[in-house]
Amino acid sequence: MNQSSRPHSTTLRTIASILLESFGIVVAIAALTFDIFTVDINTLRPGNTQLIVVGFGLAITLLAHFFAPRYPIRKAILSSEAPGFLVFCLSCILLIINISGQFITLRNPAVYQGITHKEKIRVPQYTLEEFTALMNRIEEIDEQYPAYVKRLTQLVFDSTVHYWPDDTSPSMVNYQVPLHENYLLFFLNKLNGEIEPYEFCRAERAVERCASVCSQSSRILANVLIRNRVRTQIVGLNGHVVVQARVNKETDEWWLLDPDYGVVIEHDLEQVERNPEIIIPAYQEKGYKDQVINKLVSIYGSNGNEIIDEKLGCEREEHLYLLKWLIPITGMLPFLMYLPVRFFQDRKPEKYEIDKNPPNN
């Protein structure tokens, strides 16, 4: 080969390897994150097609490594391996953020100072670990469903405090998901311009945060009930949110549960709408004053009540919590794959040309 053509050939191979590697990285990460930008996420984890495309993208990056010219490692990082190295560094940052989030709690210690709601001072009585240990139905003693829903409603009430952030403390209780908790939810909320509190679907995450409102408390209760095979609905009232749960399958008996107040109403929504005064004894038993109860009576008896969530699927949230780990791991692979390729190439024996005309001594 003409010596003058070698630099030109090397430059072309470098450009081609950069384009191949960049394309492979984009394909792999785009396949993983495709569901984030869809309206409805129906799977808990990336589907088989997505995983195949991820593998295809990584295979392209591997091909790019073999195709790239052999440079010293420092020069390779600044030339043909630059895309993989850059993504590797960004992925390391995301991985560090994820790991740090495992040691930072969502619960602000300020909640233990006591927060007043409806003239009651609320202080969390349980930690997340204690809540998790108590939240499931006790099958060993065959805990009946009416007793279980009563116990769980009180448990959610005792494990949370009602707190609505004002303008002076928008991030006091992590109502907006912080970066270290889930960078995907953090950036998606920023991009969507979300200003309302983010409501966790998974009960444990919401209880860890502790600060709650009626709709979040209802989601905590509903999520745990569904996981314990209790048919559940979230009910939107005119200014309040509660849960309706079936406590007896044979008789199709439903009760209304208000975890934000710690109250169980042993009637279904239809019965309460016809006669909202029947809720009064349940709230009086918990010590609420007449002014609060009368307001609730008007809320339950309004015409705006509706079932706002029957499926209560947590697929989207779980998907994003899975992806927050898969994205940096996938992003690190292209550069990590480069290392064994270099090792394999460096192990090849050097080729020497025999000089047919040795110099005379």
Q: Does 288 lie in the same domain as 141?
A: yes
Domain span holding position 325? 3-103+316-346
The DSSP secondary structure of 89-111, one letter per residue, reads: HHHHHHHHHHHHHTTS-S--GGG
Tens of pLDDT, residue by residue over 217-257, are 999 999 999 999 999 999 999 889 999 999 999 999 999 99
User: Over 21-80, what HEC string results?
Assistant: HHHHHHHHHHHHHHHHHCCCCCCCCCCHHHHHHHHHHHHHHHHHHHHCCCCCHHHHHCCC
* Domains of the chain: total: 2
Dist. CA 299–CA 347, nearest whole Å: 77
Q: Does 342 lie in the same domain as 202?
A: no
Q: Does 130 lie in the same domain as 98?
A: no
Give 358's DSSP letter.
P
pTM: 0.80
135 within a domain of the structure (yes/no) = yes
Percent with pLDDT over 90 in the chain: 48
57 within a domain of the structure (yes/no) = yes
Is residue 215 within 8 Å of residue 199, measured between CB atoms? yes
Q: Does 131 lie in the same domain as 12?
A: no
Between CA 187 and CA 195, with CA 192 as vertex, the angle to 5 degrees is: 95
Tens of pLDDT, residue by residue over 77-135, are 666 677 778 888 899 999 999 999 999 999 988 889 888 888 888 999 999 999 999 99
The DSSP secondary structure of 293-322, one letter per residue, reads: HHHHHHHHTSS--EEEESS---HHHHHHHH
Tens of pLDDT, residue by residue over 33-85, are 776 665 444 454 666 777 888 888 888 887 777 766 666 666 666 666 777 78
Q: Does 77 lie in the same domain as 44?
A: yes
Q: Does 265 lie in the same domain as 301?
A: yes
